[in-house]
Amino acid sequence: MHGRLLRVALAAVTAALLAPGALAQSMHVGWKWRADQELVYRSTSEMRQSASGGAGYEAHWTHEFVHTDRIARVSSEGDVTIERTYDSLKMNVEHSVLGNVRYDSTKPDRGANAEAKDHALVRPFAAFVGKVVTIEIDAEGHVKSVRGLREILRDAGSGVSGDFMEAAMAGFATVNEDSFRQQIEQSMRLVPGREVRRGESWDVEIDQPLPAVGTIRTTNTCTMRGATNVRGKRCASIELSSKAELRGGGISDALGLTLRDSKGAGEMMFDTELGAIRQWNQRLDWTFTIQSDLLGSAEQRLEQDAKMELIEVR
């Protein structure tokens, strides 16, 4: 029982991580929305996990998502409606407790690929493929509403059973409309929407709620490095660094779960003419500790390399 509780808590944190020339003196860095425009992005992530203690395990995850953002509506006040379609998923997981699995949504759903699609480690992500989430954002970058996500999450959790699957699904259950909204707002607010001088820095603070675990507060520091060229497009190069803290509650307090150390570093290339991100990358290194009378002491380390690249404009 205690081991299962610990796996649920650690899985919840994992899901939050899973659920981018010549120097100019200043550049205007702001979103530009064009109705009916489509931006196609490829996002990749590699994450390594290791955990000690009674629920110890090792895991290696790789994901590749392709999604299309269609600008469905732009109001005269600057509000925008984005229809995000999840086009494809490729993933591979090697987990010392929950097993190994490989899935590719671009291949037919038969044989081993069909079995992989329903695996507890794959289903929460595969449920997004082919689905549309509609996001409404105001002129200040705040997410007003998210539609379609609740149905995807319901499908992600259906038809899964078994004790070993419980921990995997419990982690994904922490992805809800609130946490999704916060993730979108964070990406929006990294872009200041104004003239930025070389060497200037600004902070973006975001709270990501994790039901039953608490809240992870991340502070991102963005620093303008100047202009650069990405595939013939003039972009603002913005350095990213981040620190995070876990604000407890629920399971995290009961288990004595703390975020002992967190480091994040990366870079964003923002196309100032297009008004969109061209490339983004970030490396995270987080260490969690558990200290409780029930479970003793344990440690989990998460290392993640994530990238996103604009691959097509339509």
pLDDT digits (tens, 9 = 90+) for 258-284: 777 888 999 999 999 999 999 999 998
Give the residue with greater pLDDT, 313 vs 20.
313
- CB-based contacts of 111: which residues, under 8 Å, 6+ apart? none
User: Which residue segment(s) compose the domain that 188 sits in?
Assistant: 2-313
Query: Is 200 in contact with 224 (CB distance < 8 Å)?
Result: yes
- Torsion angle, alpha carbons of 96, 98, 100, 103, to 10: -150
Q: Are strands 132-137 and 99-104 parallel, antiparallel or unpaired?
A: unpaired
Six token digits for residue 218: 């991340």
- CB-based contacts of 49: which residues, under 8 Å, 6+ apart? 14, 57, 58, 59, 60, 61, 300, 301, 302, 303
Q: Give, as one character, the DSSP assignment of residue 301.
A: E
Query: Is 89 in contact with 67 (CB distance < 8 Å)?
Result: no
How many folded domains does the chain comprise?
1
pLDDT digits (tens, 9 = 90+) for 147-188: 998 888 887 766 554 434 444 433 444 456 777 887 888 888
Query: Is 32 in contact with 276 (CB distance < 8 Å)?
Result: yes
CA distance linking residue 175 with residue 190, whole number of Å: 21
User: Looking at residue 266, which CATH number applies to its domain?
Assistant: 2.30.230
Residue reference for tokens 């097509």: 312
Of 163-167, 249-253, 285-289, 295-299, give the lowest mean pLDDT range.
163-167
pLDDT tier at 67, thresholds 50, 70, 90:
very high
pLDDT digits (tens, 9 = 90+) for 213-223: 677 888 899 99
CA distance linking residue 84 with residue 139, whole number of Å: 18
Is residue 133 pLDDT above 80, yes or no? yes
Is residue 32 pLDDT above 60, yes or no? yes
Note the pLDDT of residue 213.
66
The mean predicted confidence, pLDDT, of the chain is: 82
Six token digits for residue 309: 């690249």
Give the residue with greater pLDDT, 94 vs 57.
94
CA distance linking residue 267 with residue 235, whole number of Å: 12
Query: Is 16 in contact with 208 (CB distance < 8 Å)?
Result: yes
